[in-house]
Amino acid sequence: MTDAAEPVHDGQPTVEHDALGADGVTTNPAEAFAAAAAEPSPAPAADTHPERVVGAAFAGGFVLALLLKRLAR
């Protein structure tokens, strides 16, 4: 924790800033939880790294082929 008397607000909206009242004390834990739940979640890995999806599909197909080959015996 810091020794700062008031929280520093750098213009970035966060759950902590929304949940803090004017005196820096949480107004209501239920409101803070609702504010945290209302924020969008980060982007899934498929949006940022489509090559991972292609690699997973290839690996899944390879495992399926091995399984079918073994069942054919």
Q: How many domains does the chain have?
A: 2
Tokens of 61: 């197909």
Q: Same domain for 25 and 8?
A: yes
Higher pLDDT, 67 or 44: 67
Residue 20's region, left for phi above 0, alpha for psi from -120 to 50, else beta, is beta
Residue 47 has pLDDT above 60, yes or no: yes
Supply the range of the domain harboring residue 3.
1-39
Mean pLDDT, range 3-17, rounded to an integer:
63
Q: Same domain for 13 and 33?
A: yes
* pLDDT for residue 41: 64
The answer to which of 15-24, 48-57, 59-68 has the lowest mean pLDDT is 15-24
Q: What is the pTM of this model?
A: 0.39
Q: Same domain for 34 and 59?
A: no
